[in-house]
Amino acid sequence: MRELGERRETDGPIRDKISSIVTTSPRTELPLHHIAIDGPIGVGKTSLVELLAKRFQGVKVLEDIDNPFLPDFYKNRKGAAFQTQLFFLLSRYQQQREIAQIDLFSGLVVADYTFPKDKIFACLNLDDSELLIYDKLYNLLSESVPKPDLVIYLQGSLETCLKRVKKRNLGYEKSISVDYLRQLIEAYNYYFYHYEETPLLVVDTNEIDFVTRPEHFDDLVEQIKKIKKGVQYYVPIGSR
C-alpha cells in the first residue's frame, strides 16, 4: 500500500484566526512575515511551528488533512490516489490563499508545510498519466501562491523519523511503511538540494531536540533572526 502523507487534526480555518493576530509582537526581533517549515513525516515540523508561533506571537497554520478520499486510498482502490491528491492540492491552495490574507495584517504566519510539498507526494503516489494532468493544474495554481520569506527544511534520518513517529504513537501513522518513509526522505532531500525559490535554512534534526532542550530552540531562533538570502545550514551548539 502507498501512503499519502501525515494525518492529524487541523488547526481550523485560517480566516477565523486573522482577528486574533497580535500586532504588538516583537517585529524588530524577527523581520519576517511568513515562515514555512517542511520535511518528512516525524521530523518535528508542527512542534517547531508551535514554538515559533508562541515565541513571536504569530499565527500557526497547520495543514488541513481532512480528505474524504483517504479511506479508499488506504484501501488501495483504483483511482483513489489521484482523487486524494487532487483534493489535497485544492485544499492546500485554498489554505495558501488565506495565508495571503493574513499577510495583509502584517502578522507573523508560521506554517508546517510549503505548497510544493503537494507535488513531492504526487510524484510518489501518481502514475505518469495521472501526473501529467496533475502537473497542469499544479502549475496553474502555484502561480498565485504567496512565497514564504523563509523556508526551514528539517532533515532527519530514517532512524530519527521512525523513532519520533513511534514515540508520538498516532494511530493513523501505523500504516506508514519503512520503505515509503525512506522514499519520502529521499524525495525531500532531492527537492531541497535544488531549491532556489526563497531563502532556505537547512536544519539537521538528528543531533538537536528543540522540543525538550530549550537551549537548542533558543540557538536556532538566533540563526533565524540573522537569515540571509540563499541557502544556510544550521550548525548545532555542540558542533561548533
What local confidence, expressed as pLDDT, does residue 47 receive? 93
| All structural domains of the chain with their residue ranges | 14-239
Give the 3-state secondary structure of residue 232: strand
What local confidence, expressed as pLDDT, does residue 218 receive? 94
Q: In DSSP terms, which residues pair with 36 in a beta bridge?
A: 111, 151
Q: Tell me the pLDDT tens digit for each residue of 110-163.
A: 999 999 999 999 999 999 999 999 999 999 999 999 999 999 999 999 999 988
Catalytic residue (one of 11, 38, 64, 112): 112
Helix 117-125 and helix 128-142, axial crossing angle in degrees, nearest 10: 170
pTM of the model: 0.84
Helices (H), the chain: 45-55, 70-74, 80-103, 117-125, 128-142, 158-168, 178-193, 214-225
Q: Which of 95, 151, 86 is nearest to 122 (CA)?
A: 86
112 is catalytic: yes
What local confidence, expressed as pLDDT, does residue 175 receive? 67
Cα–Cα distance for residue pair 227/67, rounded to 1 Å: 36
What local confidence, expressed as pLDDT, does residue 27 receive? 46
Fold topology of 14-239:
Rossmann fold (3.40.50)
Q: Tell me the pLDDT tens digit for each residue of 21-33.
A: 444 444 447 788 8
Q: Which residues of the chain have pLDDT under 70?
A: 1-28, 103-106, 169-175, 237-240
What local confidence, expressed as pLDDT, does residue 174 receive? 62
Give the 3-state secondary structure of residue 107: coil
In sign, the C-alpha dihedral spanning 93, 91, 6, 32 is: positive
